[in-house]
């Protein structure tokens, strides 16, 4: 029997990356991600691999870009304000088609915000970060064990499609300790045929994102979009729990999904048939699976540690096939399972036959369904 060890998420992600053959790490201290950087500061030099504490997140992501351009397997990590600075580099990495894994251990915002856990960077992670028409695959583990699994997967996706990939966690995932089986997956070394190695015995290679002629840039954009469609087709991930008989589904990812799971168990004890739909890839979003599920449901409740971000993708996915309610907390506050159960009760009162007690999320005067203001 394998001995389980106690690790926090930051350390587990770092070890998973090391096992996956990460050649270089670049970062800048920020809570709640600093343990990851500190772990790498000790481990990478031990292994003869590269570690640099950069002068800023702009520096860190640019170093990562340089290392990735030579074909190295690169990890960077930060938390929300740092990701805003890394947005510049992410756009260049996407434009230059360079693989990289970026970990965002989210904290509350906007601005300096707080150092408490949050999911308020969903928009930033899934809809952009930097400028330009591009997408970045985003993987959201909801346990430390899953983070250990998803880090090598993130490297595989990054290298298969030549794209940066984001692993999206939050402060709880980063800093809480959990017993895990230290089964870390290793990956074969990569030696891409586009890497900058010095033009010995071959024509020079250029890693670039600049294409001044409109025709050239459009062709490049077409190629990028074709790649994004391929990623959507092959890399959409989600998990389903208790959905076969569910009348109401909670949709939640990461830490929110763990709260949802506890709420689901309590709701089921109280006689409510509730299931959990948990997106694992936030982009590509598992829209088709959710759309197919929606007609079977009385309502969908989206739970987030935010004022409501993923809920927009859920609404787009279900296209009105089921009413979508939302419950969220912000600023580092985490919804309690009981709050979620209360929101579920309301969800069961949506679309009742005439004469039955019912709940209309549009007009709920108390806004009780949602700490952040009812149906948004």
Partner 1 sequence: MTATTGPRVATAAPRLIYRRPELLAEDSTHYCPGCGHGVVHRLVAEVLGELGLGPRTIAVAGVGCAVFAYDYLRLDFCEAPHGRAPAVATGIRRVRPDAFVLTYQGDGDMAAIGTAEIVHAAARGELITAIFVNNGVYGMTGGQMAPTTLLGQKTTSTPGGREAALHGYPLPITEMLALLPGVAYAARGSVVDPGAIGKTKAYLRKACEVQLAGAGFAIVEVISTCPVGWGMTPRESIDWLRDAVAEVYPPGVVVDRTKTVPVAPAPAAAGSEG
Positions touching partner 1 (CB under 8 A) are: 21, 23-24, 26, 44-45, 48-50, 52, 54-56, 58-60, 62-74, 88-89, 92, 96, 189-191, 195-201, 203-210
Q: Residue holding tokens 């074969």?
A: 188
What secondary structure letter does DSSP report for 195? -
* Helical pair 9-19 and 34-46, crossing angle rounded to 10 deg: 30
Task: Pick between residue 63 and residue 276 the one whose CB is nearest to partner 1.
Answer: 63
Nearer to partner 1, 110 or 204 (CB): 204
Least distance from partner 1 to the Cβ atom of residue 194, Å: 11
Pick the closer one to partner 1 by CB: 50 or 349.
50
Torsion over CA of 328, 331, 334 and 339, rounded to 10 degrees? -40
* Shorter beta-carbon distance to partner 1: residue 50 or 145: 50
Q: Which residues contact 18 (CB under 8 A, 6 or more apart)?
A: 43, 44, 47, 49, 184
CB of 119 to partner 1, least distance (A): 28
CB of 135 to partner 1, least distance (A): 19
In the chain, how long is the greatest CA-to-CA distance? Answer: 82
| Closest approach of partner 1 to the CB of residue 57, in Å | 11
Cα separation, 17 vs 43, in Å, equals 11
Q: Write out the two tokens for 85.
A: 């600075």
How far is it, in rounded angstroms, from Cα 264 to Cα 257? 10
Distance of alpha carbon 233 from the chain centroid = 18
Nearer to partner 1, 204 or 295 (CB): 204
Contact status, residue 102 vs residue 60, Cβ threshold 8 Å: no
DSSP 268-303: HHTT--EEEEEESEEES--HHHHHHHGGG-SEEEEE
Between 26 and 285, CB nearer to partner 1? 26
| CB 356, min distance to partner 1, A | 59
Q: How many CB atoms lie within 10 A of CB 68?
A: 30
7-28 burial, b for 16+ CB within 10 Å, e for fewer?
bbbbbbbbbbbbbbbbbbbbbb
User: Min. distance of Cβ 349 from partner 1 in angstroms?
Assistant: 52
Q: To the nearest whole angstrom, how small is the minimum distance from the Cβ of residue 184 to partner 1?
A: 17
Nearer to partner 1, 176 or 190 (CB): 190
Cβ at position 159, least distance to partner 1 in Å: 10
Measured from the CB atom, the residue of 91 and 255 that comes closer to partner 1 is 91
């Amino acid at each position: 029997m394998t001995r389980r060890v106690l690790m926090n998420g930051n350390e587990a992600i770092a070890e998973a990356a090391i096992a996956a053959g990460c050649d270089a790490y670049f970062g800048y201290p920020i809570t709640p991600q600093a343990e990851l950087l500190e772990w790498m500061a000790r481990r990478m030099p031990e292994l003869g691999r590269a570690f640099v504490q950069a002068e800023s997140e702009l520096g860190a992501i640019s170093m990562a870009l340089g290392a990735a351009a030579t074909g190295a397997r690169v990890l960077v990590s930060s938390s929300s304000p740092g990701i805003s600075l890394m947005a510049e580099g992410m756009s260049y990495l996407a434009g230059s088609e360079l693989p990289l894994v970026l970990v965002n251990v989210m904290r509350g915002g906007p601005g300096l915000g707080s150092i408490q856990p949050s999911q308020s960077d969903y928009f930033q992670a899934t809809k952009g970060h930097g400028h330009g028409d591009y997408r970045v695959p985003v993987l959201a583990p909801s346990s430390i064990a899953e983070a250990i699994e998803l880090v090598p997967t993130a490297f595989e996706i990054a290298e298969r499609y030549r794209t940066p990939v984001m692993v999206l966690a939050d402060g709880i995932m980063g800093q809480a300790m959990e017993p895990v089986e230290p089964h870390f997956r290793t990956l074969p070394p990569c030696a891409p045929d586009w890497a900058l190695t010095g033009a010995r015995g071959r024509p020079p290679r250029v890693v670039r994102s600049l294409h001044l002629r409109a025709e050239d840039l459009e062709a490049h954009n077409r190629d990028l979009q074709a790649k994004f469609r391929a990623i959507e087709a092959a890399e959409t991930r989600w998990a389903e729990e208790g959905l076969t008989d569910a009348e109401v589904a909670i949709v939640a990812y990461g830490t929110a999904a763990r709260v949802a799971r506890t709420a689901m168990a309590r709701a089921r004890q109280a006689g409510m048939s509730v299931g959990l739909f948990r997106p694992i890839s936030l982009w590509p979003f598992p829209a088709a699976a959710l759309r197919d599920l929606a007609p079977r449901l009385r309502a969908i409740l989206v739970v987030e540690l935010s004022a409501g971000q993923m809920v927009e993708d859920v609404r787009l996915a279900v296209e009105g096939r089921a009413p979508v309610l939302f419950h969220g907390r912000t600023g580092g506050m985490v919804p309690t399972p009981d709050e979620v159960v209360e929101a579920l009760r309301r969800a069961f009162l949506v679309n009742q036959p005439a004469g039955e007690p019912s709940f209309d999320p549009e007009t709920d005067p108390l806004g009780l369904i949602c700490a952040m203001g009812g149906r948004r």
